[in-house]
Amino acid sequence: MPQPLVEVSAVSKTYTIKADGAKPRGTLKALNNVSFTMDKPERIALIGPSGSGKSTLLRSIGGLLIDDASSGEIKVMGQAIQSKGRLAGNVRQARMNLGMIAQQFNLVGRLSLFTNAALGHLGKVNGLRGFFGLWSKDEKMAVMRALDHVGVASKANQRANTLSGGQQQRGAIARAIVQDAKVILADEPVASLDPVTARKVMELLVKVNTEDKVGVIVTLHQVDYAKRYCDRILALKDGVIVYDGPAGGLSGDTLKDIYGEEIEDAYWEGAVS
């Protein structure tokens, strides 16, 4: 049996909330014993109301958040990212299989789109070449191919902060392609974009998934986008997975249970049956 791309076992995350005025110091359980596996390169949408734990789960998978000590383990391509509230010793190695895309693109604004995408090589080159950005001819060509694949090769020399949101998000996807990531973690990648650009970015994620066989886990506020562009949906409520199944199997009643009064805000372009 082939190795799963992502394994999340019994993960919990508790935040400490600082005292604020009359409110005393407290804790918030953002994830509560969450488990799931991505066995093949599929497109998984993480949905749920605000504060349900979607972004926390995604950042935990990326090793950007450290889970509770009572947690189980997170593995990507068989390599541990974190276990029992401690980052794995070779987390850098494990992260090389993960491409991360964020709502605010996380590109370095003053660097060109080319340099930003080339940073995808960082995990693979030795210290000095990475320090000075001395990319080989093949590495430079790989960057240009990735930028071309996502449709922004003509913007390679432009500073990232002079580009539109959609172009920057494409640059972030190109960086993940350069990285040769096996799984892309996208944290609300379309939340800052207009609907037309948002659709194009989602279509690009579908393309990367189907053509390059890269698994995609994407947090989305828009249920219609989750149903339209993803194969599988994981719905979270109060840090617990309340639905894990095919996108088509998510009923309106289940959605009402998950979102409650927020249900109307969960659609961007109208309900999808």
Binding residues for another protein (CB under 8 A): 62, 64, 92-93, 95-96, 98-100, 102, 104-111, 119-120, 122-124, 127, 130-131, 133, 172, 175, 179
Least distance in Å: CB of 134 to another protein? 12
Cα separation, 148 vs 153, in Å, equals 5
**Closer of 218 and 241 to another protein (Cβ):** 218
Least distance in Å: CB of 166 to another protein? 17
State which amino acid sits at residue 90.
Answer: N
**Closer of 214 and 250 to another protein (Cβ):** 214
Strands across the sheet containing 79-83:
26-38, 6-17, 73-76, 79-83, 86-87
Question: Which residues are CB-contacts of 187 (< 8 A; sequence separation ≥ 6)?
Answer: 55, 58, 59, 100, 101, 102, 103, 218, 219
> Cα angle at 220 between 223 and 111, to 5 degrees?
150
Least distance in Å: CB of 138 to another protein? 18
Least distance in Å: CB of 65 to another protein? 11
Least distance in Å: CB of 256 to another protein? 34
Least distance in Å: CB of 96 to another protein? 4
DSSP 66: -
**Closer of 59 and 221 to another protein (Cβ):** 59
**Closer of 49 and 63 to another protein (Cβ):** 63
**Closer of 59 and 232 to another protein (Cβ):** 59
**Closer of 15 and 131 to another protein (Cβ):** 131
Residue 13 burial (CB count, 10 A): 22
Cα separation, 30 vs 51, in Å, equals 7
**Closer of 4 and 130 to another protein (Cβ):** 130
Task: Tell me which residue of 265, 272, 212 sits closest to 48, measured CA to CA.
Answer: 265
Assess contact for 120 and 129: CB atoms under 8 A.
no
Cα separation, 78 vs 177, in Å, equals 20
Least distance in Å: CB of 127 to another protein? 7
Residue 88 burial (CB count, 10 A): 19
Q: Which two three-digit tokens encode residue 119? A: 């940073």
